């Protein structure tokens, strides 16, 4: 056996839908999940809209007691894992649980719990602060709770690298499998940061769009009139397996992880480096790991945040890596529809890439209306596009200068891995 790593199951809870299929249908129809915030009263905030997960009932899923002891970001992670495990037809038993791990990223963790308990401290005093606050707010609680619920006793870590968190989580999970430390890793990311505190902070930074009158069209990556990102929430989970383990159980293969790169701008805590040098190197490292040439990439799922700096810099970096071929590659930002899931974004976008390969359809960048001379590539504007997609690049760039890239490929051997005779 080789050190190949396969994706055998996917699951998600996000603003476009509470499962992969409903999310994908909304995406290819170009639907926006952005609307006025309902999770709290945003009346005093400069930005009053976001992409919320609607219709998610944690009490019916987990029971009232357990739901109250999990922050929303953990609830999302457990729910998405349930779907991914079912999709993978994977059972964790006493015989395999020590070789099954979890690597789940988050950018902020349980910030809603922190905000709620800070208010309790201020209004009611220290004796009324919940003893569950610390485990509810810790970023590693998602990976820990997933391990508890599903019985996975193998390697378990949380990765926090801002908006690159879940791309790093998937990439590092693959590396754990490749070095033989686990057979299966539950990987991905989760975020639930649409709270008064975080929305105020992002708004005061000038990072958010302020199109309060037209929220559905606020997120417009690569458009000349873009004015900031739109906050989203949710989770996306991918089940990663070694080739040997997948073969032994005849697993259905969703995709293969063939390339991973990570770098840092070493420039500014929030702004990308204007020359895109580290983002360029990150994509090049992923290509080098995959053994592919730039012209082998069929689709790029861009970081595409709808901020003035990111979209310009990412376009520049893509041109430097792909040369003239950059103008031939379809590129889209699905954040235009589901918002920016921060630490959960990369994993959700990896699922979008998998669905594009499985269905031969590239999801669009919606709200693209006005050409920016600095962003002049093919962004699949406003409508999904049918096209064969066998190999994809997914970019994630985050505060702190973090850059992470994944290259995924379709699995063409009938979808099922079997042992060689």
Q: Are residues 244 and 286 in the same domain?
A: no
From 45, 245, 338, 340, active-site residue: 340
Q: Please count the CA atoms within 13 angstroms of the CA of 144 that sit on its side-chain side.
A: 10
Question: What integer pLDDT is reported at residue 416 of this predicted model?
Answer: 53
Both structure tokens of 307:
């901020």
Residue 120 lies in a domain: yes
Does residue 291 share a domain with residue 395?
yes
Identify the domain boundary among 213, 248, 283.
248
List, in sequence order, every residue forming a beta bridge with 256; answer none if it has no partner: 6, 409
For residue 418, the model assigns a pLDDT of 52
Mean pLDDT, residues 333-358? 98
Res. 289 pLDDT band, cuts 50 70 90:
very high
Domain membership of residue 419 (yes or no) is no
Domain range holding 375?
A: 259-409
Q: Tell me, yes or no, whether 194 and 230 share the same domain.
A: yes
State whether 144 and 17 are in the same domain. yes
pLDDT at res. 236: 98
Q: What is the 3-state secondary structure (H, E, C) of 278-329?
A: HHHHHHHHHHHHHCCCHHHCCEEECCCCCCHHHHHHHHHHHHHHHHHHHHHC
Q: How confident is the model at residue 1 (pLDDT cuts 50, 70, 90)?
A: very low
| 268 domain-assigned | yes
Q: Among 200, 220, 248, which residue terminates a domain?
A: 248
Indicate if 359 and 310 belong to the same structural domain. Answer: yes
Specify if 416 maps to a domain: no
The per-residue pLDDT for 419 is 46
Does residue 254 belong to any structural domain of this protein? no
Tell me: do 89 and 223 sit in the same domain.
yes
Let me know if 163 is a catalytic residue: yes
Domain co-membership, 339 together with 380:
yes
Which tokens hold the place of 190? Answer: 């989760």
Q: Are residues 199 and 306 in the same domain?
A: no
Is 329 inside any structural domain? yes
Q: Which of 23, 158, 163, 282 is catalytic?
A: 163
Residues 275, 150 share a domain:
no
Which two structure tokens, joined as six digits, stand for 315? Answer: 């376009």
Domain edge (last residue) among 248, 274, 290: 248
- Measured CA to CA, the distance from residue 283 to residue 241 in angstroms comes to 24
In a domain? residue 296:
yes
Average pLDDT of the chain, as a whole number: 96
pLDDT, residue 411, reads 85
Band (pLDDT 50/70/90 cuts) for residue 417 is low
Q: What is the mean pLDDT of residues 83-96?
A: 97
Cα→Cα distances 397→165, 273, 280, 318, Å: 9, 11, 11, 13
User: Does 203 share its domain with 264?
Assistant: no
pLDDT reading at 72 higher than 60? yes
Q: Is pLDDT of 15 > 80? A: yes
pLDDT at 420 over 80: no
**Count of domains for the chain:** 2
> Mean pLDDT over residues 184-203, rounded?
98
What is the reported pTM?
A: 0.96
Q: In this predicted structure, what is the pLDDT of residue 415? A: 53
Annotated active-site residue 268? The verdict is no
Q: Are residues 244 and 263 in the same domain?
A: no
Q: Give the chain's count of helices (H) and strands (E).
A: 14, 14
Q: What is the pLDDT of residue 374?
A: 97
Query: pLDDT grade, residue 292 (50/70/90)?
Result: very high
Q: Is 201 found in the same domain as 315?
A: no
Above pLDDT 90, what percent of the chain?
97
CB 294: neighbour CB atoms within 10 A?
17
What digits encode the pLDDT tens for the residues 94-107? 999 999 999 999 99
Nearest to 14, CA basis, from 166, 197, 156, 145: 166
pLDDT (mean) for 383-399: 98
Distances, alpha carbon 71 to alpha carbons 68, 106, 198, 275, in Å: 8, 13, 15, 39
Residues 6+ away with beta carbon under 8 Å from 264: 278, 400, 401, 402, 403
- Any domain includes 414: no
State how far the Cα of 251 lies from the Cα of 82, in Å rounded to an integer: 17
CATH number at residue 386: 3.40.47.10
Query: Which residue among 23, 45, 219, 303 is the active-site one?
Result: 303
pLDDT of residue 312: 98
């Amino acid at each position: 056996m080789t050190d190949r790593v396969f994706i055998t199951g996917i699951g998600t809870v996000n603003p476009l839908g509470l499962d992969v299929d409903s999310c994908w249908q909304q995406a290819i129809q170009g639907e926006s999940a952005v609307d006025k915030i309902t999770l709290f009263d945003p009346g005093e905030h400069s930005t009053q809209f976001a992409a919320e997960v609607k219709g998610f009932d944690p009490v019916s899923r987990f029971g009232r007691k357990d739901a109250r002891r999990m922050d929303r970001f953990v609830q999302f992670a457990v729910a998405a894992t349930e779907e991914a495990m079912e999709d993978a037809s994977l059972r964790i038993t006493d015989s395999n649980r020590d070789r099954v791990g979890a690597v789940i990223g988050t950018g902020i963790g349980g910030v809603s719990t922190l905000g709620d308990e800070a208010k309790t401290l201020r209004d009611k005093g220290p004796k009324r602060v919940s003893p569950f606050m610390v485990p509810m707010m810790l970023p590693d609680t998602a990976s820990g709770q997933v391990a508890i619920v599903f019985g996975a006793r193998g390697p378990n870590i949380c990765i926090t690298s801002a908006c690159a968190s879940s791309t790093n989580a998937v990439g590092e999970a693959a590396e754990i499998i490749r070095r033989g430390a686990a057979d299966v890793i539950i990987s991905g990311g989760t975020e639930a940061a649409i709270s008064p505190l975080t929305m105020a902070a992002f708004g005061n930074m000038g990072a958010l769009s302020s199109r309060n009158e037209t929220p559905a069209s606020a997120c417009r990556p690569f458009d000349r009139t873009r004015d900031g990102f739109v906050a989203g929430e949710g989770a996306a989970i991918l089940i990663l397996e070694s080739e040997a383990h997948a073969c032994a159980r005849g697993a259905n293969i969703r995709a293969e992880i063939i390339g991973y790169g990570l770098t840092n701008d070493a420039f500014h805590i929030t702004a990308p480096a204007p020359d895109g040098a580290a983002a360029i190197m990150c994509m090049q490292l992923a290509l080098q790991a995959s053994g592919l040439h730039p012209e082998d990439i069929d689709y790029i799922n861009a970081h595409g945040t709808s901020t003035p700096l990111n979209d310009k810099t990412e376009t520049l970096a893509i041109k430097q890596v792909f040369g003239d071929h950059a103008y031939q590659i379809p590129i889209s930002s699905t954040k235009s529809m589901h918002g920016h899931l921060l630490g959960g974004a990369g994993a959700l976008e990896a699922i979008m890439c998998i669905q594009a390969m499985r269905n031969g359809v590239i999801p669009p960048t919606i709200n693209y209306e006005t050409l920016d001379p600095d962003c002049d590539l093919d962004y699949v504007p406003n409508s999904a596009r049918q096209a064969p997609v066998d190999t994809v690049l997914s970019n994630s760039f985050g505060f702190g200068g973090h850059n992470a890239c994944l290259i995924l490929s379709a699995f063409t051997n009938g979808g099922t891995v079997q042992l060689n005779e």
